[in-house]
Structure 1
Amino acid sequence: MALTKDRQGLTVVVTGASSGFGRGIAQKLAADGANVVLAARRTKLIDELAIELGGRALAVTTDVSSEEDIARLMAAAESRFGKVDVWINNAGLGIMGSFTDIPLNDMLRLVDINLKGMIYGSHHALRHFKENGSGTLINMSSFISSVPLPFGAVYCATKYGIAGLTAGLHLEMELEGRKDIHVCMVHPWVTDTPWPEHSGNYSGHEITLGPVDDPETVIDAVIGLIDQPQESVEIGSKSKAAILSKHLIPVGTEKLNGILLQEMLKSAPSAEKTSGSIHSPRFEGTQVSGNMRNRLKQQIGKGNSSKDRFTDGRNNHGK
C-alpha cells in the first residue's frame, strides 16, 4: 500500500472519477492533501464526491471524447488552482462480443472515448506542462496492449493505440530534453471495478472474468508514479506473467487465452445485449470496487471450473 504523503499544493486532474480506479485515486490523493479535479459524465456522482472530499476538490462534468470538454476541464482546473501538476487519463470503457455482432456505431464510439479521449487529454496536459516547465501525465492502458484477445478486438485496438501513443510521447519528452515532464503508462490485470457494468456486451452472457485483482493495487501503483515516474508499469504478478508468456510463447499464449476466454463467456449466465455506458452513462456501478469477485464465487460454486482456471499468472493467462 502506498504510504501517506503530504501533497499540499499538488493539483491532480483525474478523468473517469465517478467510480472505479478514478474514484479511488481521487479519494486517496485528497486524503493526502492534494487538490483533485474530478472529471466524469455523471455530474451528480462527482458533485457528491467533491462535497465528500471537501474544499480541495472540484467537479467538472466531462465527456473525454469531446475536445471542447477537455479544454474546459483544463481551464476550470487552472482557474481554481492556478496550474495542474498531474493529469491522469483514466476514463475508458470496453465492449465484449463477436466483432460482427457489435454495432459499428458502438465500436466507433469506443474509439472516441478510449483513444481519442486519451489523445485530447494528453495534448492539453502536455501543452500545459510545457508552459509551466514540469508535470506528470499518467495514461491508463492494460495488459491486453501486449496480449491480444478475441471477443474484444476493438477494446484491444484502443489499448494498443494508448500504449503506442504513450511510448511515443515519453520518448518525445526525452528527446526534447524535458527532464521535468514525465509521461507514464500503467498496465493493470483484470480488476474488480464496475467495468463490466459500464461496458458494452454483445456476447450473450454476463461479463464475469477472473481471477481478479483488488483495485487498491492499481490505485496505489498509479499514485506511486507521481513520486517515482516510470515509462511503463505492469501492475501485479498476473499482468507481468501474461506479458512475459506472450513474449516467450506468442502463438501458444494467444491461442490458449482465446480458448479460455471463450469458455468463460459461454459458461456465464445469459445476458441481454447492451451498449452499456458507451453512448450515455448508466446509474449502476458507482463505487471503487465492483461485484466480479462475488459473481466468480457463484460461478465456481455452480461447478463452472473454467472461471477458476482463467489465468493464474503462472500457468494460464487471459482477460
Structure 2
Amino acid sequence: MPEEKTREGLTVVVTGASSGIGKGIVLKLAEQGANVVFCARRTEIIEEMASELGPQALAVTADVSRESDVEKLYEAAMERFGSIDVWINNTGVGTYGEFTDTPLKDLVRTIDVNLLGTMFGSHFAIAQFKRQGYGTLINIGSFGGRVAIPSGAVYSASKFGVAGLTTGIYQEMDLEGRNDIHVCLVNPWITDTPWTIHAGNYSGHEILVGPADDPEKVVDTVIGQIDEQEEIVDIGGKSTMATVARKLAPSVTDKSTGRFMSDMLKQAPPSPDTSGSLHEARAEGTGVSGDLRKRLQMKAEGEK
C-alpha cells in the first residue's frame, strides 16, 4: 500500500465544502496535513467540520455568487495562514428540465454561482499568486462543459464558460512567463454526490442519471493536480470518450447525447417541480456520496 502523501504547511482554499466533492477534498487534504480554508452557505455543517479537523481548518460562511463573500473567504485565509498555495473553485449548482419550463430566476442563479462564483474566486486567487510568485488554481468544470446536456442547457452554458475562463487565465500565465503559477480545469463525469438532491428539477421526474462515478475518484484526481499541474483533465473513460466523440462527430454526438439523457430522465419515477437548494440552503444531503449509484441500482433491479 503506497505511503500517504503529506501536505503539511500547504494552505488550500476550497469552495462548496458542505457536501460532495468539496467536502471530500477538504477531509482528505486535512488528513494529509494541509491547512484548509473552506466555505459553503450551511454554517452549522462547515463549522462542525472545522471543529473536528482542529486548528488547521477554517470555515467561512459564503455564497460564492457574491463578490463580497468571496473576498471575505480570501481575507480569512490570508489572515489565518498568511499565504494561499492552492485555490479550488468547486461550488456548483444546476437544474434539470426543459429550458422554457425552468424559471428564469433559477437559470440566472445557475450562471451566478457556477460562472461568476468561479470568476470571483479565480480573480482573488490569481491576484494573490502574482503577489507571492506562485500558486495553483484548480477550477471544477464538467463533461457538460465539453458536451452540451439537454434539460441542462444553462448548466452546460455555465460550465462551457468555466472552461473558457480557465483556459484564458492559463494562457495569460503562460504569456507572462509565470511558470510557478499553475492553472487547471478538471472535468468530472456524472458523480455520485448530493448534487442531484440539491438541484432544481422541472423535468417531471426524479433525477436518476448515470452511470455515476465514485466521488473519491474525483477527489483524488483534483488533489492530484496539486502535483501534476495539467491544463485540462477529463476524469475517466466516459468523460474522455464524450469529448473525443464530439470533436470527431459533433452532430451525431449532440443528438445521441440528447436522446440518452432524455430517455434516462423519462424512465425515472415522477417528481414534483422544485428549485432545490438553488436559492436557500437545505439541511439534507451532507455526505460526500449522494447514494445515486444505489438508487440507480434499485431502479435497474425494479425493471427486471
1:135 partnered with 2:135: yes
CA distance in 2, matches of 1:71, 1:38: 13
CA distance in 2, matches of 1:228, 1:256: 33
1:234 partnered with 2:234: yes
Match of 1:209 in 2: 209
Match of 2:244 in 1: 244
1:93 partnered with 2:93: yes
Report the CA distance between 1:124 and its aligned residue.
Answer: 0.4
CA distance in 2, matches of 1:303, 1:248: 35
1:87–1:138 contact (8 Å) kept in structure 2: yes
CA distance in 1, matches of 2:259, 2:126: 41
1:272-283 matches, cutoff 5 A: 272-283=272-283
Match of 1:182 in 2: 182
CA distance in 1, matches of 2:65, 2:2: 31
Match of 1:106 in 2: 106
* 1:98 alignment partner AA: E
Match of 2:70 in 1: 70
1:140–1:185 contact (8 Å) kept in structure 2: yes
1:84–1:135 contact (8 Å) kept in structure 2: yes
Residues 147-196 of structure 1, C-alpha deviations (whole Å, 9 max, x = no match): 11211000000000000000000000000111100110100000100010
1:21-32 matches, cutoff 5 A: 21-32=21-32
Match of 2:5 in 1: 5
CA distance in 1, matches of 2:287, 2:245: 33
Match of 1:310 in 2: none
* 2:214 alignment partner AA: D
- Unaligned 5+ segments in structure 2 are none
Report the CA distance between 1:302 and its aligned residue.
Answer: 2.1
CA distance in 1, matches of 2:235, 2:54: 30
1:290 partnered with 2:290: yes
Match of 2:50 in 1: 50
Secondary structure, aligned partner of 2:107? helix
Match of 2:84 in 1: 84
Residues 237-267 of structure 1, C-alpha deviations (whole Å, 9 max, x = no match): 1111111111122111111111111111111
TM-score in terms of structure 2 length = 0.98
CA distance in 1, matches of 2:108, 2:3: 40
Match of 1:225 in 2: 225
1:123 partnered with 2:123: yes
Secondary structure, aligned partner of 1:17? coil
Secondary structure, aligned partner of 1:119? helix
Q: Percent of aligned positions with the same letter in both sequences?
A: 57
Instruction: Could you list the structure 1 runs, at least 4 aligned residues long, displaced by more than 4 angstroms after superposition.
Output: none
Secondary structure, aligned partner of 1:290? coil
CA distance in 1, matches of 2:6, 2:191: 28
1:205–1:265 contact (8 Å) kept in structure 2: yes
Match of 1:309 in 2: none
Secondary structure, aligned partner of 1:88? strand
Secondary structure, aligned partner of 1:100? helix
Change (3 A) 1:51 1:121: same
Report the CA distance between 1:113 and its aligned residue.
Answer: 0.5
CA distance in 1, matches of 2:171, 2:3: 29
CA distance in 2, matches of 1:262, 1:89: 29
Residues 106-150 of structure 1, C-alpha deviations (whole Å, 9 max, x = no match): 100111101000000000000011111000000000111111121
* 1:146 alignment partner AA: R
CA distance in 2, matches of 1:78, 1:147: 37
Residues 19-50 of structure 1, C-alpha deviations (whole Å, 9 max, x = no match): 00000000110011100001111000000111
CA distance in 2, matches of 1:234, 1:260: 20
* 1:258 alignment partner AA: G
CA distance in 2, matches of 1:6, 1:190: 29
1:14–1:22 contact (8 Å) kept in structure 2: yes
TM-score in terms of structure 1 length = 0.93
Change (3 A) 1:41 1:3: farther
Report the CA distance between 1:3 and its aligned residue.
Answer: 5.8
1:2–1:223 contact (8 Å) kept in structure 2: no
Cα RMSD (Å): 1.2
CA distance in 1, matches of 2:42, 2:251: 41
Aligned residues: 304
* 1:33 alignment partner AA: G
Secondary structure, aligned partner of 1:37? strand
* 1:187 alignment partner AA: N
CA distance in 1, matches of 2:302, 2:53: 41
Report the CA distance between 1:291 and its aligned residue.
Answer: 1.6
